[in-house]
A and B are shown apart, each in its own frame.
Chain A
Amino acid sequence: MTTPIAPVAEPTTTPLIPPSQHRWAEVIHRLEAGGSMLPDTPENLMQIIGIYKAYAVPMDFYWRDLLYIAEQVFLDPLPAFKYFPSQEYLDLPNSYAGDQSQLRIWRGGEKAHPELLEFMAKGETTQMPKLLHHLWHDRINMEFAEACMQAMLWHQNMGGRFNDYLASDAYRNNADRAIKAYFKRNPVMLGLYKLFPEMFLEKVKQLSYTANLGLFWEVMAPVFFEMSDIYDEGGFKGVPDAMDFLVNGIFAVAGRPIYHHAFIDGECFEIIPKSEGFTWLYEAALPYVEAVFYRTSPFRGTKSYNAQAGQVPADQADFHYGILYADVFPVGSAGIPPTLLMQDMLHFLPSYLKELYRKHERGEEDQLIQLGVTFQRSMYNVTSAVIQALRAALLYPLDDTDPEHLLANRRFFEAQMDRFLRPEARLGAIQSQDYR
């Protein structure tokens, strides 16, 4: 007779907190497990890394030209050539790439990316003078970068102290010195400045945001280049790896100073000095994500929303016209989605992404839409990194054993996901691989 063996209970891990009842509970649980809002699939990984690479190349131009505009073009009343950065700015060493960098993120060179230089020379057409490339619109679309800057300027109060500083006397005095120095040989403009000082000050504020965004993207370009290189070497195992790299990158450069210097007749005017202590994470990255990924504006491009019909929220904080909500389909009919950026990225798609697009929908014919959807996925991943970084900075580790702490994390994640409850949000769409 054999003694019946009692079944051995398998060790189970009891969750410390009950499951979320939020509509996006599945995504919240994924975030709590250290994942991203974007599902972890090999194709998603391929898509986001590929598009980061395609994004990084024009971004390498954006940041150089933005700094050129903020520092050199400055208050030029007829800035017809502001999209023609000088060689000095094209050769400007990136602070996070090259041998000279203090914190090297990308293993590549510090000057403008070779693919960018090649495109600037030839464009989609052929080798011809820069002006013809510009007029033919065969170039990098700086208009996109400026639109992002304008979104940041327009929304303003999105955390950090940067915007408050723009209203301070210190800033006004610094700007005043720079304005007077810039127009010292132009009595007409000086006269106008006396008549309409606020107009000039507003323009300088815009240039300060231009510098802000340039400095933000100076960091992001090498991050994306490095991610692409790591992926090409087989380094990332999944979407969470890519997100973690971004989170680590964010923390690595979080303290990078944000400033605005203008160079007038060789003299540097510190309109926002580094000594003010503005940092990359709080004064650039978070406002950028909020203004560009979430909000932007309802009346850019040819598609306008009707405020009288209630299509535009009364509170700017409720704006939802960013890439996380964008309908990628009406290409060319809306400032949302970022059609100009999509056009720029199209020039630098890695071969594996082109191959992927060829297999789906209309193949090469609608690559622009497919890459727009990919960009949307990738920005959900970047936003996930920002959410995780904020959680790490403000709340508790994911492996914390205190249920109270985990509940605090839960409330934070749920609050973030509340922003995707509105029907325009594409969070649901990106959960499916069929969304292309």
Chain B
Amino acid sequence: MAPSFLLLLLLLPLAGTLLLPLLPGADPVRVRSLAALAAAGQLLVGLLCWRQAPADLHLPWVPKLGLELELGLDGLSLPLVLLTALLTLVAILSAPADQSRPRLFFSLMLATNLGVMGAFLARNALLFVLAFELVLIPTTLLVAIWGRERRAGAAIRFLLFGAVSGLSLLAGVLAFGWLNAKGLGFGFDDLAQADLSPSAQRWILALLLLGFGLKLPIVPLHGWQPLTYGQAPTPVVMLLGGAVSKLGAYGLLRFGVGFLPDTWAAWSPWIAAAGALSAVYGALNAIAQSDIRRLMAYSSLGHMGLLVLALAAATPLSLQGAVAQILAHGLIVALLFACVGLIERRTGTTSIPELSGLLNPLRGLPFTLGMLLLALMAAAGIPGLAGFPAELLVFEGSWTVFPRATLVSLIASGFTAVYAVRLFNRVGFGRLDNDRAHWQSTRWSERAPALLLTLLVIGAGLWPTALTGWSEATTRSLALRSQPFLYASAPLTTAALTATPLTTVAVAPELLPS
């Protein structure tokens, strides 16, 4: 397939971003349809790329700076590209039919998509940073303009954390290129072959950890997340939680594990500890929340902790689990926020003490609550749903390397059931308030995005290969440690989806168990 298809993945949202504000009239439904059309087109192109992998695209851009338009797809980026396209479409369709200032809103949504998509497609570190930074502007504006009552504070905090994240990432990438003894070069191939002193590697990894850790986020870099998730409009938070935050995970896997394997392996106990801490901290805080959105934010933080644990372990299985967790969490968190958005649109609140009896079959929101229950079950890792295979792979892949951190994370994962049951018990059951329950039931057109996600969450649970198959070859090649008995007894035989892996480094440090 021609490399122009890769360009098309960027041109479609770019066209939407530029053209939507120029549309005559501001009928929200029409603007939403056009934005959805662009996202759907992007998803379609992504699926075509999946059927037949396109060749990489190389176009010189600013050669003197080492910046080239290098785009490509591999087993890591392809599933994330599809996830981003899907979630953008679903998020756009989740916007209300009476969305205020629709042209600007959907234009910024597509701009966000453009940034995330660009980062996932980039095969050049500077291009990656550029796209990474691009995401910050539209998302900040989306929060600042359409957020809830504390939107200004949320937007400023998001911007500040994002700016620090972007700057540290830029510094890390520039250092990577400049300190490379083999010469200046920011292409991923250059970085994979880079010759860096151990000290330089440590500094660069520290910067990358700060940059990506802020984006994920992970404790103690999560300060922006609860407030932003609590204040951002539903479609935005779906995109933030489902796709944008995955930039951090992707970056850690691509840059940290892939390009700095020795330093990553040396630091991995600390990284695993941070993952376990995030998992516990997120879960415990989720239990204490009285607002559904904040609860979801902390829940997301906890699940990102599991992801970081898997990345730290860096076994073939754990890395596969990490990719599966990225995909599963993307779907689940988007579904959770889609349901919360529907609840908020009808009841006018996400405050847990103010909500009860929503499962009432006649005056409640039973369908929405049903989907919410399913999403919560998926988040809790109930078998048959997307969260289960992902968490199983994470735990199985990590416990041989970091048994204590894995055990702590496992317990933290169990807390998911605690806040899920607590939330559902309070919001779903109990007495529906006569004085408040005058809202209409949700329409099928409103439910459709969440319903689509629900089907995918179920589908991925019943057919876990949908989560793991994409990246099997790539993650195997990225693995820093082997996992003898699991791997030997059940060799992974599924054919690689895409091109050759980016890095061939797979040296387990002698000091660490293998």
Residues of A within 8 A of B361 (CB): 331-332
Instruction: Tell me whether B434 and A368 are in contact (CB under 8 A).
Output: no
Instruction: Tell me whether A329 and B441 are in contact (CB under 8 A).
Output: no
Residues of A within 8 A of B362 (CB): 331, 362, 365-366, 368-369
Docked Cα-Cα span, A421 to B440, in Å, equals 32
Measured between C-beta atoms, what is the minimum distance from A373 to chain B in Å?
9
Judge whether A255 is part of the interface by a CB distance below 8 angstroms. no
Residues of A within 8 A of B437 (CB): 329
Measured between C-beta atoms, what is the minimum distance from B511 to chain A in Å?
59
Judge whether A84 is part of the interface by a CB distance below 8 angstroms. no
Instruction: Tell me whether A330 and B440 are in contact (CB under 8 A).
Output: no
Instruction: Tell me whether A330 and B432 are in contact (CB under 8 A).
Output: yes
Instruction: Tell me whether B434 and A361 are in contact (CB under 8 A).
Output: no
Docked Cα-Cα span, A369 to B433, in Å, equals 13
Measured between C-beta atoms, what is the minimum distance from A260 to chain B in Å?
39
- List B residues 375-424 near A (Cβ within 8 Å): none
- List B residues 439-470 near A (Cβ within 8 Å): 440-441
Judge whether B150 is part of the interface by a CB distance below 8 angstroms. no
| Cβ 8 A contact of B434, one of A331, A362, A429 | A429
Docked Cα-Cα span, A366 to B360, in Å, equals 11
Looking at chain B, what size class is its interface with the partner chain?
10 to 19
Instruction: Tell me whether A330 and B434 are in contact (CB under 8 A).
Output: no
Judge whether B241 is part of the interface by a CB distance below 8 angstroms. no
Judge whether A327 is part of the interface by a CB distance below 8 angstroms. yes
The A interface is mostly helix, strand or loop, or mixed, namely loop
Judge whether B431 is part of the interface by a CB distance below 8 angstroms. yes
Docked Cα-Cα span, A384 to B465, in Å, equals 68
Instruction: Tell me whether B360 and A330 are in contact (CB under 8 A).
Output: yes
Judge whether A81 is part of the interface by a CB distance below 8 angstroms. no
Docked Cα-Cα span, A100 to B126, in Å, equals 99
Measured between C-beta atoms, what is the minimum distance from A188 to chain B in Å?
45
Known: A330-B357, A369-B363. A362 touches B431 (CB 8 A): no
- List B residues 3-31 near A (Cβ within 8 Å): none
Judge whether B438 is part of the interface by a CB distance below 8 angstroms. yes
Docked Cα-Cα span, A328 to B361, in Å, equals 12
Instruction: Tell me whether B440 and A362 are in contact (CB under 8 A).
Output: yes
| Cβ 8 A contact of B360, one of A329, A361, A429, A435 | A329
Known: A365-B362, A368-B362, A369-B363. A327 touches B434 (CB 8 A): yes
Beta-carbon contacts of A40-58 to B below 8 Å, as 1s and 0s?
Answer: 0000000000000000000
| Cβ 8 A contact of A365, one of B431, B433, B434, B441 | B441
Residues of B within 8 A of A435 (CB): 434
Residues of A within 8 A of B433 (CB): 329
Known: A361-B438, A365-B441. A327 touches B363 (CB 8 A): no
Docked Cα-Cα span, A429 to B434, in Å, equals 9
Docked Cα-Cα span, A251 to B283, in Å, equals 67
Instruction: Tell me whether B363 and A366 are in contact (CB under 8 A).
Output: yes
**Number of residues on chain A facing chain B (CB within 8 A):** 15
Measured between C-beta atoms, what is the minimum distance from B475 to chain A in Å?
48
Beta-carbon contacts of B116-149 to A below 8 Å, as 1s and 0s?
Answer: 0000000000000000000000000000000000
Residues of B within 8 A of A365 (CB): 362, 441
Measured between C-beta atoms, what is the minimum distance from A331 to chain B in Å?
5
Closest to B438 in A: A361
Residues of B within 8 A of A368 (CB): 362
Docked Cα-Cα span, A368 to B363, in Å, equals 10
Docked Cα-Cα span, A333 to B361, in Å, equals 10
Closest to B362 in A: A366
Q: Which of B363, B431, B433 neighbours the largest number of chain A CB atoms within 10 Å of its CB?
A: B363
Beta-carbon contacts of B424-438 to A below 8 Å, as 1s and 0s?
Answer: 000000011110011
Instruction: Tell me whether B438 and A329 are in contact (CB under 8 A).
Output: no
Beta-carbon contacts of A324-348 to B below 8 Å, as 1s and 0s?
Answer: 0001111111000000000000000
Beta-carbon contacts of A299-341 to B below 8 Å, as 1s and 0s?
Answer: 0000000000000000000000000000111111100000000
Docked Cα-Cα span, A362 to B431, in Å, equals 19
Instruction: Tell me whether B357 and A329 are in contact (CB under 8 A).
Output: yes
Closest to A329 in B: B432
| Cβ 8 A contact of B431, one of A329, A332, A361, A429 | A329
Residues of A within 8 A of B432 (CB): 329-330
Beta-carbon contacts of A359-372 to B below 8 Å, as 1s and 0s?
Answer: 00110011011000
Docked Cα-Cα span, A328 to B437, in Å, equals 12
Docked Cα-Cα span, A435 to B436, in Å, equals 11
Residues of A within 8 A of B357 (CB): 329-330
Docked Cα-Cα span, A329 to B431, in Å, equals 8
Beta-carbon contacts of B32-69 to A below 8 Å, as 1s and 0s?
Answer: 00000000000000000000000000000000000000
Closest to B359 in A: A333
Residues of A within 8 A of B431 (CB): 327, 329-330
Measured between C-beta atoms, what is the minimum distance from A312 to chain B in Å?
17
Docked Cα-Cα span, A310 to B438, in Å, equals 31
Beta-carbon contacts of A406-436 to B below 8 Å, as 1s and 0s?
Answer: 0000000000000000000000010000010
Measured between C-beta atoms, what is the minimum distance from B426 to chain A in Å?
15
- List B residues 141-179 near A (Cβ within 8 Å): none
Instruction: Tell me whether B441 and A362 are in contact (CB under 8 A).
Output: yes
Residues of A within 8 A of B440 (CB): 362
Closest to A435 in B: B434
Measured between C-beta atoms, what is the minimum distance from B437 to chain A in Å?
7
- List B residues 354-369 near A (Cβ within 8 Å): 357, 360-363
Q: Which of A328, A333, A365, A368 neighbours the largest number of chain B CB atoms within 10 Å of its CB?
A: A333
Measured between C-beta atoms, what is the minimum distance from A161 to chain B in Å?
40
Docked Cα-Cα span, A435 to B434, in Å, equals 8
Closest to B434 in A: A329
Closest to A370 in B: B362
Docked Cα-Cα span, A332 to B361, in Å, equals 8
Docked Cα-Cα span, A187 to B468, in Å, equals 72
Residues of B within 8 A of A328 (CB): 434
Docked Cα-Cα span, A329 to B437, in Å, equals 9
Measured between C-beta atoms, what is the minimum distance from B433 to chain A in Å?
8
Docked Cα-Cα span, A361 to B431, in Å, equals 18
Docked Cα-Cα span, A366 to B363, in Å, equals 7
Measured between C-beta atoms, what is the minimum distance from A305 to chain B in Å?
13
Docked Cα-Cα span, A332 to B433, in Å, equals 16
Residues of B within 8 A of A369 (CB): 362-363
Residues of B within 8 A of A327 (CB): 431, 434
Docked Cα-Cα span, A332 to B364, in Å, equals 12
Docked Cα-Cα span, A362 to B360, in Å, equals 13
Docked Cα-Cα span, A327 to B363, in Å, equals 13
Residues of B within 8 A of A333 (CB): 360
Docked Cα-Cα span, A96 to B194, in Å, equals 101
14 more A-B residue pairs beyond the given contacts A329-B363, A329-B433, A329-B434, with a C-beta to C-beta distance below 8 A: A327-B431, A328-B434, A329-B357, A329-B360, A329-B431, A330-B360, A330-B432, A332-B361, A333-B360, A362-B362, A365-B441, A368-B362, A429-B434, A435-B434
Residues of chain B at the chain A interface (Cβ within 8 Å): 357, 360-363, 431-434, 437-438, 440-441
29 A-B pairs (CB sep. < 8 Å): A327-B431, A327-B434, A328-B434, A329-B357, A329-B360, A329-B363, A329-B431, A329-B433, A329-B434, A329-B437, A330-B357, A330-B360, A330-B431, A331-B360, A331-B361, A331-B362, A331-B363, A332-B361, A361-B363, A361-B438, A362-B362, A362-B363, A365-B362, A365-B441, A366-B362, A368-B362, A369-B363, A429-B434, A435-B434
Give the top 3 A-B pairs by smallest Cβ distance, nearest first. A366-B362, A329-B432, A369-B362
